[in-house]
Chain A
Amino acid sequence: MTPKRKKRLTIILALVFGSSIAIGLTLYALEQNINLFYSTSQIAKGEAPKNTRMRIGGMVVDGSVERSTKSLEVAFKLTDYETQVKVVFTGILPDLFREGQGIIAQGELDANGVFQADEVLAKHDENYMPPEIAETMKKKVEAAQ
């Protein structure tokens, strides 16, 4: 091997080595931080793992919102018009949170099947429906036909 080729080979090896480490670390970080999305039906069927961070989406059931009188704890039910899941959240709800509105909650499912949310997201548009729910709804319409 000529010195020039040797130099080139070293550079290429260093590049391959460096980029594989970078890609490996990135993918690892990605694996650790993705949140799977579940519908309320999937949770009711027991498809969702317990004590794992995830997102659930659904429409807030009319008349299901209960507030604590002492703290900011609030409980409500989410539905995909098939099954319902109880969600508990402590904190300030977004402006567009209201009954009948589509929202997404992030958190963990506890042992009793209650979803302990640490974040509640509502879209800044009142006609909004999370695409995940829109899809579930669409499937249902198709199935009904």
Chain B
Amino acid sequence: MIPEIGEFALIISLCLSVVLAAVPLYGTVVNNQLWMNFAKPLARGQFLFLLISFICLAYSFSIDDFSVTYVANHSNSQLPLQFKISAVWGGHEGSLLLWAFILSGWTVAVSIFSRSLPLDMLARVLSVMGMIAVGFISFLLFTSSPFGRYLPRFPEDGADLNPLLQDFGLIVHPPMLYMGYVGFSVAFAFAIAALLSGRLDAAWARWSRPWTNVAWAFLGGGITLGSWWAYYELGWGGWWFWDPVENASLMPWLVGTALVHSLAVTEKRGVFKSWTLLLAIFAFSLSLLGTFLVRSGVLTSVHAFASDPERGLYILVLLIISIGGSLTLYAFKAPNVKSESQFSAISRETLLLINNVFLTVMAMTVLLGTLYPLLLDALGGGKISVGPPYFNAVFVPIMSLMALAMGVSMAVRWRQSNTETIIQTLWKPLVASLIIGLAFPFLYGDGFDFSVFIGISISCWILATTGLEFVMKFQHSTSYWDRLKKLSLSYYGMMFAHIGIAVVAIGITLVSVYSEERDMRMEAGDTVELAGYLFEFKGTKVVKGANYMADQGILIVTKDGEAITELNPEKRQYTVKRSMMTEADIDPSLWRDLYVALGEPLDENGTAWAVRVHYKPFVRWLWLGGFLMTLGGLLTVADKRYRKKTL
């Protein structure tokens, strides 16, 4: 009964979204207030019914209703409750339901928090979001309903959730990432609404900006969580694999970052307007492309669920309609956009333009590397894969150049700046960063290393120039405390995000250069030394978990004779699917992680094991920086100027 209610609620929400997509928009065309007023209740109704649908699926999981195919394939009676609930989005159908549910959540949020928006704009924005909802809910219903039944005979127990997904990471990573992906639909809807209305003044930038910032913050947070999860769960200590699906999330993030900056310029200075519109369209299109790549099964990846050509085709058509339609609209309307002010070649506007160019180029290179194998295969050029060296080779230099420009922008003012003043302000931080970068590899490592020199110089450069910008705000004030309070939350948001970039850069540089790793064959009593730490293998013991059996290794770690910690990596066998899982054990700290994973038993009686030992300096900084950026993005939204009732 419950699954049928869920399916029915899904059908109702589809009907509501069809009406939402058509009626308020038509109201704006014929200028009928009543029809425009339909937008809000429809958005709420759509959310309510998707919520019901979502709860029905979660309920079916929690009571182990294995007559539902999706539940039977992704759950098991022995699965702990929190994983039964998060298993809702552990497969294709459920994760799409989550997608649609979050979309309706964003739609409702727009209808609630946009009291300052004129009625016709709100009607357009909600209608555009309704159109996206039509696309996704119909996709769910027609190709991938999670409520299908195994009838008349259903399995007694479920096939279990993939062990990799039985983890805290599954609870937080997909919802957070989807919040970001789908959140760009709001920026997209605002851009389309602006194009439709022809009202392309800076006002739409102000409306769209807080939404874009939140979406960007969530996407960054989701990527960070994903990286952290992969690090401890996949068992080989990597934090970024240039996996096509990671790229699929990185591309909208890069374009989103460009959008966040471009929107700031549009709101403050009234320039770059048509570029901002284009970025808003691209950010969401790349989110859709990401969904297509992941859900269609055209790519081989850890994230690709069961593939089905029909589903791929459906998303591809959706993708073509939305990208093609919005770009056509853009082509017709964008020439009417006029800039409201001028700026000279040496100004913050120019530097932000450079930042945008770099970010877009990076997104393009990632896109090229991700799609190239697909294109070549489609053209009959053979099967290839593009490896991490490609991405590192193009990504790192562009990123470094961008970081350089980022520092310069801190010393440059809006409209126009004086070159001499800029040089005067910047030469000291530049020299200091270069000296620190030069000295660091000698002090921390054993000698000069070019990557470390570049990485540390750049990080210091960002930190120093950001700090300098902050200090300059206090030049003419007598009371520091008053000045601190007067600075807007957006400003603090920017500070946090920029510091976050520097922290990530330090993390990437040091963990890439100074990591040490050994794969060993170890028997009880064997020791291995790594970066000054002595790991002694004491053998394994059998432990029993909720739904698995495990061999738990015992490793005692000492440094210079002093006990540091005991690590207990596990090799688990999940009883239902009899699938093996490596559960690494980590001794984390801000300066270094000690990471141990058990490979496989190498002989019959299980005394010798393959053991992997890692020493990972500064790896935590990666995620720390990522979360700083997320925090920065969220701070900007709390800014007073977005809370004004009227404009």
Contact = CB atoms under 8 A, between A and B. Distances in A.
Contact of B384 (A34, A126, A130): A34
Interface residues of B, number: 37
B275 to A, nearest CB: 14
Given A34-B386, A37-B385, A95 B394 contact: no
Contact of B394 (A29, A93, A131): A29
Given A26-B368, A30-B368, A33-B387, A124 B599 contact: no
B521 A37 contact: no
B302 interface: yes
Interface string A94-112: 0110000000000000000
Given A29-B394, A95-B235, A71 B382 contact: no
A93 B369 contact: no
Nearest to A37: B383
B577 A126 contact: yes
A99 B329 CA distance: 55
Given A29-B390, A124-B162, A92 B384 contact: no
Interface string A26-63: 10011011111100000000000000000100000000
B237 to A, nearest CB: 11
A131 B382 CA distance: 13
Interface string B603-625: 10000001010000000000000
A131 B383 CA distance: 10
Contact of A29 (B302, B393, B521, B579): B393
A95 B582 contact: yes
Nearest to B372: A30
B610 A37 contact: no
Contacts of B582: 95
B562 to A, nearest CB: 29
A35 B300 contact: no
A3 to B, nearest CB: 14
Nearest to A125: B162
Interface of A: 22, 25-26, 29-30, 32-37, 55, 67, 69-72, 90-93, 95-96, 123-126, 130-132
The 6 closest A-B pairs by CB, nearest first: A92-B599, A33-B390, A37-B383, A29-B393, A95-B580, A33-B389
24 contacts: A22-B361, A26-B368, A29-B390, A30-B369, A33-B389, A34-B385, A34-B390, A35-B385, A36-B383, A37-B385, A55-B385, A69-B602, A72-B519, A72-B599, A92-B236, A92-B519, A92-B600, A92-B612, A93-B610, A95-B581, A124-B302, A125-B162, A126-B577, A126-B579
Given A34-B385, A37-B385, A125-B162, 19 more contacts: A26-B365, A29-B390, A30-B369, A30-B390, A33-B389, A33-B390, A35-B385, A36-B384, A70-B521, A71-B521, A72-B519, A72-B602, A90-B519, A93-B599, A93-B600, A95-B235, A95-B579, A126-B577, A126-B579
